[in-house]
Amino acid sequence: LANQPLGPQINYTITGIDAGAGVMSSTTKALAAYDLTKGKWQLQTSSTAAMTSTLGKAIKHKQPIVVTGWQPHWMFTKYHLKFLKDPKNVYGHAESIHTIARLGLKQAKPQAYTVLDRFHWTPKDMSAVMLQVNNGVDPKQAAKQWLRQHPASLKTWTKGVAKAHGQLTLTYVAWDSEIASTNVVAEALRQVGYDVSIRPMEIQPLWASVATGAADAMVCAWLPNTSGKYYADYKGKFTDLGENLKGARVGLAVPTYMKKINSINDLLT
């Protein structure tokens, strides 16, 4: 079986996630750019949970699989995966995740603005929280625990910030990476005194919520490529507080035991 072409073995299917995700539109572009559509390849829409479950099953049986991957994500911690080379650079190079606030937040809630502006961490930090959540820890508890274990980070974000009061709304898409970051920054904001609610939603309402001021901020903008379309669509209607994480990456991923598949071009062989 291992010597047969990959396509027929997996029904020419790339296992994807929710339709609105940037990695899905990039993969649709990749299908065209690498002539994969002509080669019968298709992208299957599902959800992160369904994708990671299908991935887990394939790995258990050492079967081939191609998924829409991103990093930081616990899938890269739990499994031996590799990104496929992308010589046409459809997915873009390393990305950063930005914090996006509503216009006027600085004046309305200066302490929140300061903490959100300072919030930053590393792929390793984010992976640690994601792994806890994947192991069954409640995201809020995992966030609290991470902050207890990283007092220096919390101090960097909150130092000198006066005690705050009042409501604060953060929105996010329930991707594992964004569940981790949103819960951690929400917990930090609670510790300076805010009553923080976090609301999961689809990606389009996510950007609209901040652009209309219905939400105060979000920490889920993968730039320049993955969330680039929404960033451009809503430009001028939000404040970009800059990077909260550097070194993120998006692309097609396969288990490392698929030794012959190293580039997106190899899917056609």
Binding site for ligand PBE (CB under 6 A): 17, 21-23, 70, 175, 177, 222, 226-227, 250
Q: Which residues pair with 85 in a beta bridge?
A: 263
Of 22 and 123, the one with the shorter C-beta distance to ligand PBE is 22
Output the smallest distance, CB 119 to ligand PBE, in A: 16
Output the smallest distance, CB 106 to ligand PBE, in A: 26
Distances (CA, A) of 241 to 46, 103, 133, 231: 31, 11, 27, 13
Of 114 and 182, the one with the shorter C-beta distance to ligand PBE is 182
Of 6 and 248, the one with the shorter C-beta distance to ligand PBE is 248
Of 22 and 92, the one with the shorter C-beta distance to ligand PBE is 22
Output the smallest distance, CB 95 to ligand PBE, in A: 9
Of 139 and 161, the one with the shorter C-beta distance to ligand PBE is 139
The CA distance from 78 to 59, in Å, is 11
Output the smallest distance, CB 73 to ligand PBE, in A: 8
Residue 52 tokens, joined? 């990671």
Report CA 267 to chain centroid distance, whole Å. Answer: 25
Output the smallest distance, CB 262 to ligand PBE, in A: 21
Distances (CA, A) of 51 to 12, 22, 92: 16, 15, 22
